[in-house]
Every structure is written in structure tokens, then in C-alpha cells.
Structure 1
Amino acid sequence: MEHDLAKEKRFKRWITIISIAIPVVVALLFGYKIPNAKPLSFLPPIYASINGLTAILLVWAVIAIKNGKRDLHQKLMTTCIVLSALFLVMYVAYHMTSDSTKFGGDGAIQYLYFFILITHIALSIAVIPLVLVTYSKGYLGDFQSHRKWAKFTFPIWLYVAVTGVVVYIMISPYYAH
């Protein structure tokens, strides 16, 4: 029992560190441009596709666990975490080599775009500790707590993945070619 408490305490410490470090590092890197770097303009459709794939795998993972396929569920969720990390690396790399694209729509569509973008960004930060806590509960075998956390984590993570695709579709006509 004490061994499990020590493991959980270590997980909590790492979850806290990672949950703070990722947004801070991304914010710092987002504002830094690599001098004379070739723009990585091919990345946005790739990382938008990664978001789409993540959304599909999240839904598949829920279906898997509801059908009692715990191993498949675990593999799918681990894949979603890896895909999310890959997305983040590509997103930061793109913004370190390219100027930000301005949304060119007017009126109601502009307000819709910014609402989706702002909620996407805010929830993408909030979902980091949620994913890590939920995953750690499953990893530690505390499936009751895992299920409780997952009820909050899943819809937020799914929203972030889906709105990542929506934001890309909405802004893609304005990318410089």
C-alpha cells in the first residue's frame, strides 16, 4: 500500500511539473523565430490530420473499453498521448519558422473562429493535467478513479482534437503560399 502511495506521489509531482512546463515552454518557443530558417509550411495539414486521427482514436478507445477490451483501450490511449505530443512538436516547429497566419473572415464567422480558437487553446492547456492524471490512475490500477477522471477528460480532449481540425479548416484559405 505504501509503495502505491509513493508511486502516486511521484506521479503527482511529475504531472504538476509537466502541466506547468509544457504551456510555459510552448509560449516561450512560440514567440521565438529561428533566424534564416526555411518555413515549415507543409506542417499545418499534417498536424491537423494528427488532431483528426486523435479524435477518431479517442472514440475508438471508449468503444473498446465499453466492450471490455482493456488492452486495446490502453494501446489506443497511449497512441493518443504520443500523437498529441507529436502534434505539439510540429505545431511549435511551424510557429518557430513561420509567421502567424491571420484569419481573414469578417462578421459572425470571425467571432465564431475566435471563440473556437480561444476555447481550443484554453482547453488544450487544461487537458494536459487531466490526461496525465487519468492515464496515471489507469496505470496504477485505480480503475474506479480512472473512470471518474475519464468522464471529464474524454469530452475535453475530444473537443480539443476536433476543434484543432476545425481551426485548421477555417484558417487554411489564409495561409501564404
Structure 2
Amino acid sequence: MDNISTVEKKYNKWIIILSILIPLTVAALFGVNLKRLGFDVQPLTFLPPIYASVNGLTAVILIAALWAIKNKKVTLHEKLMKTAILCSVVFLIMYVAYHMTSDSTKFGGEGTIRYVYYFILITHIVLSIVVIPFVLITYVRALAQRFDKHRKMARITFPIWLYVAISGVLVYLMISPYYA
């Protein structure tokens, strides 16, 4: 086993904390509906197409970042990856805000499309949790300038993150006809 750099050691606790705290916080807040708790809030029903678009933008940015690094445009790659992380954070904030102010929408499709929808939804949710530590570890390895380890981890992180971004858009497109 190789030595872990000082930078990686510095961030390892944060990676663990955030990898646990983010999904738990989202799950807890997902179950909180401010309107049902008596708060006078307007449902943020305009958010789903926006946060779905942010997911789509994240996918485009990830692909652009891959292109940038393949073409040795390291600074561009770094900026794009930071932007992709920011987009994911913005998505998460809007997603939680929507679900805290609005009732969940039930998927109304029937037959095979219902199974397809739930397969995409479940894999999207599971992988969106799994990808958090992968993104953080990959990012910290780049910060630590351990690019061999960064590349190795990015080969796993990239397809998972891209799937999460694209499947988020698909879930929105499939459920959007059923929004009230």
C-alpha cells in the first residue's frame, strides 16, 4: 500500500463525513413538507425543469471536461470539474427545496414503461449516493497532485456521475406529464 499524502489525510475525514451527512440530510429533509407543518410557503413547482436542466448541464460539462483533459487542456478541465461539482450542489439544493414545499408526484405510466421508470429512478438514487465519495476522493487526489491515483479513480467516477446526471434528466422527462 502506498503512502497517503498530507493533503489526502487532511480531507479524508471530510470525505467520510460528507459522504454520510449529505445522503442522510437529503433523506431527512425529503420527508419534511413545510406546508404540512403549518408554514405558509408557496410550492416551488417551477423548480423541476430547472434542476433537470442543471443535471443535463452537468452531463455536458462532464463530457467537455473529459474532452479537455484528453486534449491536455488541464486548466480548462479543472475549471469544468469545479463547475460540475457546483452544478451538482445547486441541483441538490433545488431538489430538496422543491420536495420540502411540494407533494411528491406519482408516476402514472403503466405496463413496461413503469418498470423502466422505476429501474432508472432506483439506479439514479442509489448511484447518486455512491458517487458522492467517488467525486470527493477523485477531486482530493487532484488537489494532492496524485494524478496517477486521480486518473484511476476518475475512470470509475466519471461514468457513474455521468449516468446520475443523464438519468436525472430522464426521470424528470418521464414523470413531467404527471406533475399537477
Aligned partner of 2:93 among 84, 89, 92: 89
In the alignment, the residues of structure 1 paired with residue 120 and residue 40 of structure 2 have an alpha-carbon distance, to the nearest angstrom, of: 32
Give a deviation string over 1:55-85, Cα, whole Å, max 9, x none: 0000000000000000000000000000000
The Cα shift of 1:36 comes to 2.5
User: Counterpart amino acid of 1:72?
Assistant: L
Partner in structure 2 of residue 168 of structure 1 = 172
> Unaligned regions of 5+ residues in structure 2, if any?
none
Matches of 2:60 and 2:25 in 1, distance apart? 28
Question: Distance between the aligned counterparts of 2:164 and 2:17, measured in 1?
Answer: 21
Question: Partner letter of residue 72 of structure 2?
Answer: G
**For residues 41 and 27 of structure 2, what CA distance do their matches in structure 1 show?**
19
Cα distance between partner residues in 1 of 2:40 and 2:103: 12
Please tell me whether residue 66 in structure 1 is matched to residue 70 in structure 2: yes
1:121-160 map, 5 Å: 121-160=125-164
TM-score by length of 2: 0.95
CA contact (8 A) 2:7 2:140 kept: no
- Greater than 6 Å deviation, 4+ residue runs: none
How far apart, CA to CA, are the structure 2 residues paired with 1:7 and 1:137?
8
Distance in structure 2 (CA, Å) of the matches to 1:10 and 1:89: 26
Partner of residue 12, structure 1: 12
Aligned residues: 173
Identical residues among aligned pairs (%): 62
Shift of 1:6: 3.1
Q: Name 1:114's counterpart in structure 2.
A: 118
Find the residue that maps to 1:48 and give its secondary structure.
Answer: helix
Any stretches of 5+ residues in structure 1 without a counterpart?
A: none
Q: Do the aligned partners of 2:128 and 2:161 also contact (CA within 8 Å) in 1?
A: yes
Q: Is the 8 A contact 2:58 2:84 kept in 1?
A: yes
**Residue type of the alignment partner of 2:14:** W
Indicate which of 96, 106, 109 corresponds to 1:102: 106
TM-score, normalised to structure 1's length? 0.96
Give 1:155 shift.
0.1
The equivalent of 1:26 in structure 2 is: 26
Counterpart amino acid of 2:28? L
